[in-house]
């Protein structure tokens, strides 16, 4: 099992939900209104006057074999709109 943390511009909320549904990932935890900034470039997402974009984050525990597919789908979505700065991170889970 892997923990997948997806940080995304809040405009992506429905896309993410759709991907999770399509991949049969039922369980997840979601944070509304998170803030963040990319490592290399891109606009910060602070929800402020200067940087009004806001992030959301979803944490889902996914099957080992689902994880690469999820990664591919998310990266595809990111390529579609690179300015939104969509990112996915994985951790190994020790116990469920």
Q: Enumerate binding residues for another protein (CB under 8 A).
A: 10-14, 48-54, 80-81, 83-84
Considering the complex, state which of residue 26 and residue 49 has its C-beta at the smaller distance from another protein: 49
- Give the residue with the Cβ less far from another protein, 3 or 13: 13
Q: What angle do CA 65, 35, 50 make, to 5 degrees?
A: 140
Name the residue among 60, 52, 44 with its Cα closest to residue 93: 60
Least distance CB 11 / another protein (angstroms):
4
**Residue 55 or residue 60: which is nearer to another protein going by CB?**
55
**Which run of H or E residues covers position 18?**
helix 13-22
């Amino acid at each position: 099992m892997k923990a997948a943390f997806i940080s995304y511009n809040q405009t992506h909320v429905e896309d993410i939900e759709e991907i999770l549904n399509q991949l049969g990932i039922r369980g997840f935890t979601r944070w509304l209104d998170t803030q963040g900034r990319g490592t290399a470039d891109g606009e910060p997402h602070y929800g402020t006057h200067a940087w009004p974009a806001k992030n959301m984050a979803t944490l889902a525990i996914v099957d080992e074999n689902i994880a690469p597919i999820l990664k591919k789908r998310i990266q595809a979505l990111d390529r579609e709109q690179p300015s939104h700065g969509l990112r996915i991170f994985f951790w190994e889970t020790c116990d469920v």
